[in-house]
């Protein structure tokens, strides 16, 4: 049996038990109880299955100055222009952290792992 006939037989077996009726088709929006589409239900459907994260409150709802909040937001999104980000874009960068010259410059290293950062956090805390 040729490939076209084989596909035809597979389709035939898949639909042979379907019965058509004379009633007109009806569109049902499954994201509302009424089945009627609304812009607000579409907006809520966009986030269906996603998890709510309130970490934004730690950044934006605190006493810090706006420039600190903005830097914290950029750092949490990995949007600061560190050497690893520059390398990903093919831009010139120093291969190691300019503060300690021990490891590649990443956000994690600059904020947590660098000996200078650790000393700073130790002094602050």
Q: pLDDT confidence of 56, banded at 50, 70, 90?
A: confident
pTM equals: 0.55
Same domain, 24 and 78: no
Same domain, 73 and 23: no
Domain of 36, in residue numbers: 3-46
Same domain, 65 and 34: no
Cβ atoms 113, 105 nearer than 8 A: no
Q: Is the pLDDT of residue 57 over 90?
A: no
Same domain, 105 and 62: yes
Task: Write out pLDDT tens, residues 10-48.
Answer: 999 999 999 989 999 889 999 899 999 999 999 999 988
Same domain, 37 and 69: no
Same domain, 36 and 71: no
Burial classification of residue 105, based on how many CB atoms lie within 10 Å of its CB (0-12 exposed, 13-18 middle, 19 or more buried): buried
């Amino acid at each position: 049996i040729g490939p076209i006939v084989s596909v035809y037989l597979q389709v035939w077996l898949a639909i042979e038990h379907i019965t058509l009726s004379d009633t007109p088709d009806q569109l049902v929006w499954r994201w509302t109880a009424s089945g009627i589409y609304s812009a607000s239900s579409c907006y809520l459907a966009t986030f269906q299955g996603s998890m709510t994260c309130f970490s934004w409150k730690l950044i934006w709802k605190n006493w810090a100055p706006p420039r600190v909040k903005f830097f914290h937001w950029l750092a949490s999104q990995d949007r600061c222009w560190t050497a690893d980000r520059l390398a990903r874009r093919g831009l010139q960068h120093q291969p190691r952290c300019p503060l300690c010259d021990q490891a590649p410059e990443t956000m994690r290293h600059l904020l947590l792992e660098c000996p200078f950062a650790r000393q700073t956090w130790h002094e602050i805390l």
